[in-house]
């Protein structure tokens, strides 16, 4: 008997201008945890961050190393929301982010599926902060 296919996405690469600036933004303003920061030599680092208590995919911060990569900073999804930060307490996280100077692209709104707001990271990458409604 063969083993069933078991896969998961472990990291999503997010192109940044500066490792240290990105680490500071995500850990201080969004409460993310620094999972790993390993020097790979030649100015490259393996930097993984994750939301607190997450058991899912990490963000791998990758520093732009050429003009094409630099152009994609803040626009990796062509102006659309790129990443979705799901929370168990929307208002707690929204208030923390607002108090720490995170830029919001709109006011929070209640949709059929939950409460959501679009915010931007330090480079302008759009994110959704989202709390889904609990099933009835």
The arithmetic mean of pLDDT across residues 18-43, rounded, is 97
Overall fold of domain 11-132: 2,3-Dihydroxybiphenyl 1,2-Dioxygenase; domain 1 (3.10.180)
Cα within 13 Å of Cα(86), Cβ side: 9
Residues near 3 by Cβ (< 8 Å), separated by ≥ 6?
none
Q: What is the pLDDT of residue 55?
A: 87
Per-residue pLDDT at 136: 62
How far apart are the C-alpha atoms of 19 and 14, rounded to whole Å?
A: 11
pLDDT at 111 over 90: yes
Question: Domain limits of the chain?
Answer: 11-132
Residues belonging to the chain: 136
pLDDT at 3: 84
Nearest-5° angle of CA 74, CA 79, CA 76?
45
């Amino acid at each position: 008997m063969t083993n069933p296919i078991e896969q998961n996405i472990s990291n999503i690469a997010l192109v940044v201008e500066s490792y240290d600036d990105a680490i500071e933004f995500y850990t201080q303003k969004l409460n993310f945890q620094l999972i790993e920061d390993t020097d790979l030599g030649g100015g490259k680092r393996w930097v993984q961050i994750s939301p607190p208590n997450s058991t899912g995919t990490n963000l791998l911060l990758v520093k732009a190393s050429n003009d094409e990569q630099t152009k994609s900073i803040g626009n990796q999804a062509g102006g659309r929301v790129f990443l979705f930060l799901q929370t168990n307490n929307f208002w707690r996280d929204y208030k923390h982010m607002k108090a720490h100077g995170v830029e919001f692209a709109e006011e929070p709104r209640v949709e059929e599926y939950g409460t959501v707001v679009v915010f931007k990271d330090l480079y302008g990458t759009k994110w959704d902060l989202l709390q889904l409604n609990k099933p009835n």
